[in-house]
Amino acid sequence: MGNPSAYAASKGGLVQLTRWLATVLAPKVRVNSISPGGVFRDQPDEFCQRYIERTPMRRMATEEDLKGAIAYLATDLSSYVTGHNLIVDGGWTTW
């Protein structure tokens, strides 16, 4: 469970695709994305411990942690937001 270049490239590509679609489809359609941090799915204990130690919130995400972000982007609460990638990662990317 490393950090392969294909994963990094595909994630970056999705963020850029979000931005491009936001410019092409506006103003009728808003396009945003969510980049979740590590979601616990019975990964090996060693992996989980390393992840938790490097995350400011000191835990992995659950599906519940994404609900607020999804609700925000799916409703008129974000009516003037497009082309945004909302990071929900417990602070992982703050390093």
Residue of 7, 51, 72, 80 with catalytic role: 7
Annotated catalytic residue 51: no
Q: What is the dihedral of CA 44, 1, 32, 82, to 10 degrees?
A: 120
Instruction: Enumerate the H helices of the chain as residue ranges.
Output: 5-25, 45-53, 64-74
Q: Look up residue 38 and give its two tokens.
A: 């590590």
Catalytic annotation, residues: 7
